[in-house]
Every structure is written in structure tokens, then in C-alpha cells.
Amino acid sequence: MNEVIDKGNIPRHIAVIMDGNGRWAQKKGAMRIFGHRNALAAVRDAIEGSAELGVDFITLYAFSTENWSRPKDEVDALMEILVQAITDEVPTMMKNNIRLETIGDIDSLPDSCIKHLKMGKEKTKDNTGMTVVLALSYSGRWELEKAVQAIVKKVVKGELSAEAINQKVIGEHLNTANIPDPELLIRTSGEIRISNFMLWQLAYTELYFTEVLWPDFRKKHLHEAILAFQKRERRFGKTGAQTKGSN
């Protein structure tokens, strides 16, 4: 008998490390970029499936700062795929009331990518449904580095005292200042690590790892991850009895 997802216990924010494109392609005797191109179907299913369940935010780790060290041909092709994907998907996002946002060092991307990202964000800015966040040229350590620099500048200018720096202030200087922390992180391809992704925000996130390679990821795999999430007891440092309201 199939398990039923509890619509009253859906994670508000799901983060996804989309891993396995290269290995998927290699298994088929093709170049790595073939895997990246075929990953778009998985992206659509993850977004559509999340929206159908009432998820408010989904963040997709699309390109890390470390990915710049990959072969130039692969990076160039990834950027072309990104531009095409934005062009193709924005009309669907408009139709489905989905908003596009980004985190990361967007200014380091090629001009064509920046142009299309700005266009997509501008067109969808008034949409009130789910928000899709693309993490591009992003890493957790880079984000924290930039946050510390911004805070130090305020301290030097006398706009902020050292004693006033707390977790709330740090959070306000992150790329995700207006985005809730993820409740569920999904990583595909069988790798069991977070790879410099949302290091601050994942403090109490439930981690879910699957052997499925990203191009093969579909709604049923998203549902499996959410079902696993719903079986867990989220204690946030408390005892099980405390979270259940017992003494």
C-alpha cells in the first residue's frame, strides 16, 4: 500500500543539491554536458512537484564557486543551458504564479546569464506562489565571508557595535536574508556531504540522500524524500518529550 503524504506537514523550504549529471552521461557513453542538458526534466519535476504540495521555497544548487574550476567547455555549455532554461521556463513560471530569485555571486556570471536572470526575476517579481531560488556561483563559505565583510564595515563606520552582532544580525547579511532556512535538504547520486552549500542555514535541516542520479529524479523521488522527512522527529536540541509538549 502506498504511503500518503501529510499535507499538513510539508517542509516550507526544500533545498536540493542536484548531483550526478556527469555520471549519468558517462553511463550512457556520452559527454558530461549531455547529462546537464537532460537534467532539465528533473528540475521541472522537482519544481512542479513541490508547488503541487504547497512548498513555499525550493532552492536548487545549480553552480558553485568551485565549479568555475571545471573545464572551460563544460562551464560555457552550462551557462548556455542556463540562459536557454530561463528563456524557456519563465512563461511557465508566470502561468503557475512562481517567482524566481537567486543567491550567489551573480555578477561573476557571463553578461548573457545576468541579463536573462534579471529579466526572469523582474517578470516574476509580483507572483505570489512558490519561490524558486537558483544558487549560482554560490558557496556557503563565500556567503559567510561576504557577510563578515559587510558587518565589519558597519562596525568600522560606527553603524553597528561589536556587542550587537548576534545570529539575527549575521542572518540579515546573508544572501538568504529574506528566505527561511531549509527544513529539508535533498542530495542525489549517493554522495553523503553538503559540499559547501548553505553552511549557516542548514544548522537544523533534515538531510536526505538518495542514490538516484539527478537526471533520473522525478516527482516520485521527491515524494519519497518528503515521506522520509515526515517520519523524523525534529527536536532542535530538546528532548523528544519536550517536542511533544510533555514534561
According to the annotation, is 194 in a ligand binding site? yes
Q: How many CB atoms lie within 10 A of CB 91?
A: 10
According to the annotation, is 29 in a ligand binding site? no
According to the annotation, is 66 in a ligand binding site? yes
According to the annotation, is 102 in a ligand binding site? no
Grid coordinates of 2: 502506498
According to the annotation, is 193 in a ligand binding site? yes
According to the annotation, is 22 in a ligand binding site? yes
Residues designated catalytic: 19, 67
According to the annotation, is 13 in a ligand binding site? no
**Could you give the CA distance from residue 46 to residue 23 in angstroms, rounded to a whole number?**
20
Amino acid at 192: I
Number of DSSP helices (H) and strands (E) in the chain, helices first: 9, 6
User: What does the DSSP 8-state code read for residue 112?
Assistant: H
According to the annotation, is 105 in a ligand binding site? no
**Could you give the CA distance from residue 244 to residue 228 in angstroms, rounded to a whole number?**
19
Q: Could you tell me if 196 and 139 are in contact, meaning their C-beta atoms sit under 8 angstroms apart?
A: yes
Task: Return phi, psi of residue 221, to 5°.
Answer: -75, -35
According to the annotation, is 36 in a ligand binding site? yes
**Could you give the CA distance from residue 185 to residue 202 in angstroms, rounded to a whole number?**
8
Task: Return phi, psi of residue 185, to 5°.
Answer: -115, 130
According to the annotation, is 200 in a ligand binding site? no
* Binding-site residues: 19-24, 32, 36, 64-66, 68, 70, 187, 193-195, 206
* Binding-site residues for substrate: 20-24, 32, 36, 64-66, 68, 70, 187, 193-195
* Binding-site residues for Mg(2+): 19, 206
